[in-house]
Structure 1
């Protein structure tokens, strides 16, 4: 059953048709998760995309910019802006790859590792708070369903 959404003009509208679609529920849930994550990351001076890039670099030191762009599904020119921000803050370094003059290896600095650990702890605690109504099994089922959707429905 759809919920009735109250508009500011005292006109009620129904989103019942939209609520019959998984994508609509995913979008609404993502909006909540993203707003919450942004609020959690703000004290660290990070946004979802800069945090994601930093985590990937910390977890995969030496990865190349093209690998990071592919992993995060970010256009390369947009990634350069993100990496510039992280590098300016002293969180990562871009080091030339000796075997390929066009490529850069991405490495976290000690400051980057420390900030990443703090932000990840805060993110984990906040997500636990936000998802407290879901059991461990329900969380696992949601993640499994999202992974299946991401793979195009093929197990």
Structure 2
């Protein structure tokens, strides 16, 4: 079987009923891998696909919103964002300025501004539920795949949580 959608085209399911779609999306100076997945195509609605398409089309605004949410957690010493920033400062040491795209003098702000959005995974079967509908992955060093921040988004694109992947 297959699902057809204006943005995604025909989404064919595998023998187990799962669907998967992937594409590289360009915005600004970044190239982001976007995946849409669901373990059972019967759990994917047209509304979920419409919302997924809207998130992808608005990825630049979504990225800005996510970064603002990260900045709002910087004052909380127990937040995953603060922990990540401290880890990156320790890992890079005096070389930190070499990986920053903007240097304002506030290391936390500079690190968040310098994060690269490396991927976005849309869990199409989670539309309207309590679990994340999309997960955006950010890294200061795109080659350090284990030192990332994962941002969980609801079906409406609202930030549900930010977690460190380590």
Shorter chain as normaliser: what TM range? under 0.3
Larger Rg, first or second structure (1 or 2): 1
TM-score w.r.t. structure 1 length?
0.28
